[in-house]
Structure 1
Amino acid sequence: MYCEVCHIHLCKDCVEKHFSDSSKVHDVVPLTQYITTLNYPKCRKHPTKRCELHCEQCDIPICTKCISSRNHLGHEQIDIFQNFEVKKEVLQKDLQELEKSIYPKYQEIASAIPVQKADLGKSSQKLTTTIDRHGEVWHREIDTIIHTLKSNVEEMESKYLVVLNKQEDEITHTISEITKSIADLKKLLDSNEFSLVSAYKSRIAEFRILPTKLRVSIPNFKPQEIHTDQLIDQFGSLSASSIITEEQDYSKPPQGAKSSPPDLSLMDVPRVITAIDTEYGELLCGVTCLSDTEMWTRGDDNKMKLYNLQGELVKSVQTKSGNVPYDITVTRSGDLVYTDDKDRTVNIVKNTQVQTVISLQEWRPLGVCITSCGDLLVVMVSVYSNQTKLVWYSGSTERQSIQYDDNGGPIYSSGNYKYISENRNLDICVSDCYSRKVVVVNQTGKLRFTYTGGPSITKGSFYPYGITTDSQGRILTADSNNHRIHILDQDGHFLRYIDNCDLDCPWGLCVDTRDNLFVAKYIGEVKKIQYHI
């Protein structure tokens, strides 16, 4: 029997108990009836054929002709009805998560926006009023300064006019006396009277003393150069504003609900789902998932290559500088990001066009990853000194730098080969190969723990290279020297090794949305591994 509402199989004894659940209107039908209602899909490669099987490695439905073509030789094949049931379960879980967790969260966030907009308007109006009032104070001060200067000019003019007027009156009087003396002298010269000539007293000595010549020095107004930055400092400025991105954790449903994401236990024996050969030969260094069916890779040349699960090259992109990329990652929107340690840049590929996002002067960028909020985390080493730091960028803007512990000592070693991943609890995990450890700090930059290797059965020294994290918060790192993967919990406790999947020199790591592990082996092969159930 099969319930088409709950999408579960039932035996005859369970049907009655199943109907006792009155929260749903159940529709239980015979299994054979349910199977006959399924529409088997047409084959993509052989349109005249119907697909009755599903290839687990290629993740596509296949027909009998596909099997006879030997394209899926050695791949695990299951009945398409079984695959259909698995997909139905995924659909049911997605629906439940959307209805009970994600959708309510979106509604909650959306309902807060009108309130924030209203508060923003009120705060902006209050700020504007305060600025206007302060501006009026400045205007009054400026008006006072102008009035004082003009009063000083008027006072100076009045003072100098008094002096000039006095001298003008004195000179006018003297000129009048001189004019009279000239007239008197002319009369005496024409006179023959002895008594008048004898009585003449000369004033020429008096008139020879010329009046002082006044030079009025008029002051100049020397306007000072206006320095806007100084005016801003004196007037006042706005404190820094920002929109803080707070990640909403919908992965934790309300109490009483089932946990999300579902608990994925580790398998006793991890298995290889598929192996993808690349064109890198023995120089494959990194891998990052674009989707569950395609992955970007990097090697020791200047091209980054996108492959599908069938090993087909989808496309390739050359670095802007022509240098070998140091590390790669993919943004939430599917754009490829890579670091160029020789050119000291971080770049993003949009529609095959390479754009430089970050240019550094004295630092070389190494490992890079995308945070849960879409920002960049870059671990970098100094060009001129033995220093390493981790920098959080929002676009091209540096938001945080992590370099020292609480005692002022360096958190990371000064050597190369450092890769980075953000965990779901927002911890930042760095594989520090030079110091032979994994270093984990929290989102504020405080050191949480270091991991220096697993149990004593270790064959050789622990040199971690690639690092990634899964939906359970587990940390996975590639131990290339010992040909295996270490799995830790989010607190740094060793859980197990993956050492049974022919992992010769594993280097780069990533996981897809289903937590399948992709391992870039240095010999040029990518392996897709299932390590959980």
Structure 2
Amino acid sequence: MALSKPKIPGTAQHFLECGFEDCERNCEFYCNSCHQQLCKPCRDQHLKIPENKNHEVVLYQQRRHQLPVMKCKIHPTKEIDIYCKDCNIPLCSKCSTMQEHQRHCFVDLETIYTDKFELCKKELSKIHNYFVPTSHDLQREVREDATEVKQIMDSIRTSMKAEAESLKNMVDTVLSENMEELNQIEQSLLEKLKSQEKTFDDYIAYLSDLVKEFQSYLSSTELTNFTTKLPENLKIKSIPETTKPVTPEFSSAQYNKNDVAKLLGKVFKSDRKAELRRVKPMEIPTIATSIKSTSEQTKQDKHVKSDKKQTMSLSATKVRKFRVPGVDNAFHVSLDQSHRLWISDINSNLVQTDLQGNVIQKIETSGGTQGYHTVTQNEDLIFTDYDKNVINRITQDNNITEFIKTGDWRPLSIHSSHINGDLLVGMVTDEEAKVTRYNKTGKELQSIQRDNKGQELYGEPNYITENINGDICTSDYYKGVVVVNKSGQHRFSYTGQKSKFHPYGICTDVIGHILVCDTDSKFLHLLDQDGQLLSLLLTKQQGVYNPGSVCVDDENNFYLGQYHANTLTVYKYLE
């Protein structure tokens, strides 16, 4: 029975067709002997043909690839199909009988070709799936570093100019003070000299009067004037004593270029050793029971308080549960460095408790179901006022001040960075949404609104947090989990495992994982730093019905709040 030519699948084909005669069923098997694509019925029929009984039929994925047709240069009528292992060259069957190949070891060239073909495919797969994307990621990181370097350099230039301006101002101040001192000394000396000048005016007037008197004696013809009026012991008043002015002296400063450089500060090349860029491993292991953080991650991330290896179970163990008086439910939880909690509910109540639920204080806000409060590194409470478009700050002495005015933008969510103390704020208008970065003093540093294609990144950024690598992770009710890097470039978006995914509370842990509550699936989604789902934590059987908020402490516990009850449940998932 004649065999039809095998059908080579094109890249746009949805499935492989059987190549046996006119059969159009799906291909499942492959005959390595005659290179025929076969379905199961045709395979059975193919092997029933007597001349095919020794054919090697395998699953299609295990097939050997057909050799390209290549004629032998020595025997043009023969095709090359044998490989001489001793000579390491391909041959035709007639070449193998030649004298120079006697007693040599031969193998089927098709086997060699198939092995090499598969090797090439694997290497191509590595290039396309790992090396090229990873290189693009590293290239993107280089560009981000270049942008960051420019920003740092501009900041240094600004600081240098500010230092120089400050020094100029100090020089002007000192010069002004010296001039004033000199003017006062000059005024004092001139007044003293003027007084001395008047003394001599008076003395000269006295001498003039005396001259006139003596001249009157000399011109008088009355002898009695000489005997009665002219005193015998006549004394002329001595010339008044005066002092010469003592002028001030100027001591010029002895300084050189290095002295000025010390005053202004100096730019110097850092002696820190350049760190190698972290290249993600080519084969990321599938997580079966645990994930371990590497020591390299520990060194790079200052937030990791211990260099001990940590393992993560794909299930959470309940540690304790406590009720929070003063709130009706737990829509957002903030944890400060003194291990105190701030919990807010849907009715704008915000309470501070210890880790056992004992209320420390309570305030009323205009917040709602968003992550609208956070605690700074100085343990000040920062919370947004959605109605007034302001961000308030409560210091340790309970003074409430309007910290930042957001103009036409209504602030929804806020997070205080544990890396540098910056404030990350998710905000909206009736038409737009964005994330804005402020520094500790309330100065706007960055506005993130669109991706590199100009598309809107955010719809309603209700919760916001920061990962250990500086990524800004936003829980957006309409857009899912939106993650951008510290420069504001879009890294990835996570939209859940089902058609509906409406995330609420979000946080990150000490090894870069992202925990986010899903109000549709009722699960707590656990993602890695690159947005890959690791596990769906917690179930209804564990008493979780409406996860709304989550935060992680430094002892590897996470606190879960639900919007149907005013309780917090503590779970352990890192050891």
The TM-score, its normalising length taken from structure 1, stands at 0.49
The TM-score, its normalising length taken from structure 2, stands at 0.46
